[in-house]
Amino acid sequence: MLKDLIDESWYKVFTETEKACLEEKFSTIQEKRNTQEILPYEGKNSGIYHALKITPFDKVKVLIMGQDPYPNKDDAHGLAFSKLSGKIPASLKNIFEKIKEDTGVNNLSGNLTPWAKQGVLLLNRALSFSKEETLASRNKFWLPVIDIIINKLINRKKPLVIILWGNPANDIEQFSFEKEEEYKKNNIYILRSSHPSNMGNAKNSVLKDGKIGAFTTTPNFCKTNEILKSLGEKEIDWRT
């Protein structure tokens, strides 16, 4: 079952125990779908593990951590911040405004699949959305899977830029401030800022007593490409 849901490169690096974990979580979601709507739906361009399907393990060079899928079926498709079509959500609109400021690119489509195909893993902390469950309970449910994915990436000894927006992403254990210098020895760099959301003026907020700058004043996208170029990696084309 799992082999059909994720790219072969991910399937090969997961241990049997890790595969069993991912399969058990997916089976639980499928069972819950008998009594409640859980997003994203499973389909050709959508699914719980869609990020692992479209971005091969060995091709990942940027990791962007999101929170959870959009709360409606027309938007959620398994890539953090991405939606297949229609009106662009506020957070993504702010992301696009920052990209234009950083790089000059003017995006009109909210579908971030072109990023994913270049090696940008768009990973939500909670891989599912349900009106029946709180975000905290969904985060707890998916934590073992997210830990498996993150640990695979930081231990593979390949260049990686990790982009963290907001307190929840910056509080992930593997991404503590204390580990940053050690990661740099393995060409892993962490870029931090507040969340691009308009809620509570998050996009303009400063976090962790000033250690983390506001999203609107942090050049995430051009800085990512500067790092990739310095490591001999192809830069990301931020066009959608």
Give the whole-angstrom CA distance, residue 28 versus residue 108.
36
Give Cα separations from 128 to 38, 139, 189, 195, 206 (angstroms): 6, 9, 28, 20, 29
Give the whole-angstrom CA distance, residue 76 versus residue 80.
9
Query: Of the listed 68, 74, 75, 237, which one is catalytic?
Result: 68
Give the whole-angstrom CA distance, residue 117 versus residue 107.
17
The answer to whether the beta carbons of residues 102 and 146 sit under 8 Å apart is: no
For residue 172, give both structure tokens. Answer: 């992930």
Q: Is 237 annotated as catalytic?
A: no
Q: Which residues are catalytic?
A: 68
